[in-house]
């Protein structure tokens, strides 16, 4: 009798997330965008721990100074350090972007899943989405700011109230693209064999949605999340630039742009720093979303 050769142990299956990471890091723009975004987030949140000048500290004797070792970004018309105000403004703008993105993502995913999974809700919810898409965004935001600013300021204070108002205004008016994307994916996934098999063994609708539908629509949700951050930051900056955002003594990148327009000819660097910060943040987030889309889509992965 011939001896049976020892079977060669099979390798464990490769994790799908490793394939996603390999595809993501092959996208140079996405990798650089992710690194740049992390650097921006770290600098605006951790920078004040290493910079001992307060963003609200006024030094009239040092007003309207150019870049120097004491003030690398110069000072404003009241002698406040621009570098400290850039970090404080960045933390506010990024916080608004992240929070508004989370709200828009929740609303869009919730409405998209309901519209795609329940046929009787598809028509009304999609018509509601079309209605919000037809509304002019900027005039609607301006009306919301004028109507709800005073009540929220009285209830939560000038800073917390305007933060809640801006986050809610941006989130409520930017969930529609996510809802459409999620709804289209749910319509395709709910007819797949594994969902039909789960339904045949008596799985409830809640179980189907939480265990089978939502995990398979995470890819478009994550891509929408990255793009939503950029949209929220630009919208907040636009409102602050128009003078309808945070109070004058509470810096954001858009507010710094608005304050610097009166000194554009004498001190153009005051416009340059917040404008560059907004542009780099939005550009890095867009590249990050582009790379995530390619990495998470199995039809593109590996090309």
The reported pLDDT for the residue numbered 156 is 86
Residue 34 lies in a domain: no
pLDDT of residue 183: 92
Q: Does 257 score more than 50 pLDDT?
A: yes
d(CA 206, CA 204) in angstroms, rounded, equals 5
**pLDDT band of 200, cuts 50, 70, 90:** confident
Span 199-219, mean pLDDT?
Answer: 84
Q: Does the residue 118 lie in any domain?
A: yes
Domain for residue 224, yes or no?
yes
Phi then psi for 270, rounded to 5 degrees?
-65, -30
Residue 9 lies in a domain: no
Q: How far apart are CA 229 and CA 181, in angstroms?
A: 17
Q: Quote the number of domains for the chain.
A: 1
pLDDT tens sequence across 124-151: 999 999 999 888 888 888 888 888 888 8
Q: 101: closest CA among 234, 229, 233?
A: 229
Determine the pLDDT at residue 1: 45
Residue 187 lies in a domain: yes
What pLDDT, on a 0 to 100 scale, did the predictor assign at position 295?
Answer: 75
Regarding predicted confidence, which is higher, 244 or 155?
155
More confident residue, 244 or 61: 61
**160 located within any domain:** yes
Identify the CATH number of the domain in which residue 289 sits: 1.10.3720.10
17-21, 122-126, 194-198: range with lowest mean pLDDT: 17-21
Tell whether the model's pLDDT for residue 285 goes beyond 70: yes
Sign, CA dihedral 289-295-297-299, equals: positive
Predicted confidence (pLDDT) per residue in 42-76, tens digit:
999 998 888 888 888 888 888 888 888 888 888 88
Query: Is 60 exceeded by the pLDDT of residue 170?
Result: yes
Averaged confidence pLDDT in the chain:
84
If pLDDT is split at 50, 70 and 90, which confidence band does 255 have? confident
φ/ψ of 73, rounded to 5, equals -105, 10
State which residues form the domain around 254: 93-296
Could you tell me if residue 162 is inside a domain?
yes
The token pair that represents 109 in the structure block = 């995913």
pLDDT band, very low/low/confident/very high, at 258 (cuts 50, 70, 90): confident
Max distance between CA atoms of the chain, in angstroms, equals: 99
Q: What is the pTM of this model?
A: 0.82
Q: Angle at CA 120, nearest 5°, toward 119 and 124?
A: 110
Does some domain include residue 61?
no
pLDDT, one tens digit per residue, over 212-241 is 888 888 878 888 888 888 888 888 888 887
Decide which of 298 and 265 is more confident. 265
């Amino acid at each position: 009798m011939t001896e049976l050769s020892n079977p060669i142990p099979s390798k464990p299956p490769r994790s799908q997330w490793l394939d996603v990471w390999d595809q993501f890091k092959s996208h140079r723009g996405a990798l650089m965008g992710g690194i740049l975004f992390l650097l921006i987030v770290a600098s605006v949140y951790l920078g004040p721990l290493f910079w001992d000048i307060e963003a609200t500290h006024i030094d009239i004797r040092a007003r309207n100074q150019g870049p120097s070792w004491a003030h690398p970004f110069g000072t404003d018309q009241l002698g406040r350090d621009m570098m400290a105000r850039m970090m404080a403004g960045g933390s506010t703008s990024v916080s608004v972007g992240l929070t508004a993105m989370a709200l828009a993502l929740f609303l869009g995913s919730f409405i998209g899943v309901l519209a795609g999974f329940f046929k009787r809700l598809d028509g009304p919810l999609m018509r509601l989405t079309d209605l919000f898409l037809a509304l002019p965004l900027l005039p609607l935001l301006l009306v919301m700011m004028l109507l709800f600013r005073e009540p929220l300021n009285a209830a939560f204070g000038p800073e917390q109230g305007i933060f809640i108002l801006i986050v809610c205004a941006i989130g409520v008016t930017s969930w529609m693209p996510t809802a459409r994307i999620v709804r289209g994916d749910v319509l395709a996934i709910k007819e797949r064999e594994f969902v039909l098999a789960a339904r045949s063994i008596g799985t409830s609708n809640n179980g189907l949605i939480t265990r089978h539908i939502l995990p398979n629509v995470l890819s478009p949700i994550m891509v929408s999340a990255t793009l939503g951050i950029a949209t929220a930051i630009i919208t907040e900056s636009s409102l602050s630039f128009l003078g309808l955002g945070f109070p004058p003594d509470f810096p954001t990148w858009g507010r710094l742009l608005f304050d610097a327009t009166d000194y554009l000819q004498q001190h153009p660097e005051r416009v340059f720093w917040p404008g560059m910060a907004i542009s780099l943040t939005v550009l890095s987030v867009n590249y990050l979303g582009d790379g995530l889309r390619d990495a998470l889509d199995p039809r593109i992965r590996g090309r």
